[in-house]
Amino acid sequence: MNQADIQQEKVMMELQTRISQQSKDKIDKDEAEKSFHYTAVDWLTNVPNPKFPEGIDELRKVTPARIGVWRTGTRPLTKTILKLQLDHAAAVDAVNGEVPDSLLKEFNLFTVETCYENKEVYLKRPDKGRVLTEEAVKTIQEKCVKNPQVQIVVSDGLSASAIEANLRDIYPALLDSLEVNGLTQGTPFFVKGGRVACMDHIGEILQPEVLVLLIGERPGLVSANSMSAYMCYRPRKGMIESERTVISNIHSGGTHPVEAGAYIGTVLRKMIDQKASGVRLEL
């Protein structure tokens, strides 16, 4: 065997070793996915031999609540306990998480903050999440269009996961619905640590005709990704809750974000035409 043949054989052996390692990595990855990836069907449990199976099926069709989970002895099944712990962990992550900067850049949203200080204070002092910092007020005054017809604001609220999960669907649909309804918008931005009533402070600064706030809702044990769209006519300090209109439960298992975004423009159009929002608005 000459030197060229030896070199070629060496290359072939290295190639075979690399392919073998790639195959092994793929097998390991497939096995890992098989072991740890569960679908909704995998989590289902059933009451064995129910006296009224049609009733249980009917209830399950109308609610995602944990019904018909059965038990072992006097305690829930291990699978039920694990799913509860998983959902609780997702809820905790949603509250303590952060909306990725890359997502905000994708929609050209600059960030301002309320006086929430940190997550611990935010949870204990809701009033701090209703007021913007002095720096935030200055930034908004410098960057935003004054007296817009529609002001769009996005906030993490109590679920950063909700913004991450829904913004890519609801935001384009919302912009389309504004165009269809002949509405123009100001300069959108993101409020970190915001509560619903932060829209009143923003209203005082920018004086929009209507304002829509897309905000992450308090996570539960069914969904940690629920968002709401709060809207009001002429937002201002001192507004009462009945003056706000809300579309809630926006997520893939509730009101679909695309559907919600498409509907918001219609609601805002009616607010402007009727010069009202909340309980005074006729939808």
Which positions make up the binding site? 196, 217
CA distance 90 to 131: 28
DSSP 65-130: S--S---BTTB--HHHHHHHHHHHHHHHHHHH----HHHHHHTT-EEEEBS--SHHHHHH-GGGGG
Q: Which two tokens stand for residue 133?
A: 């910092």
Taking the C-alpha atoms of residue 94 and residue 223, their distance in angstroms, rounded to an integer, is 10
- Please tell me the chain's helix, strand, coil percentages from 3-state DSSP, rounded to the nearest 5: 50, 15, 35
Nearest to 269 by CA among 174, 175, 183: 183
For tokens 């909704």, what's the residue? 40
Contacts of residue 184, defined as CB under 8 A and 6 or more positions apart, other chains included, come to: 148, 149, 150, 178
Question: Which residue type, as a one-letter code, is found at position 219?
Answer: P
Quick check: 143 and 110 in contact, CB under 8 A?
yes
- Alpha helix (H) residue ranges in 108-192: 119-124, 134-143, 160-180
The binding site for adenosylcob(III)alamin comprises: 196, 217
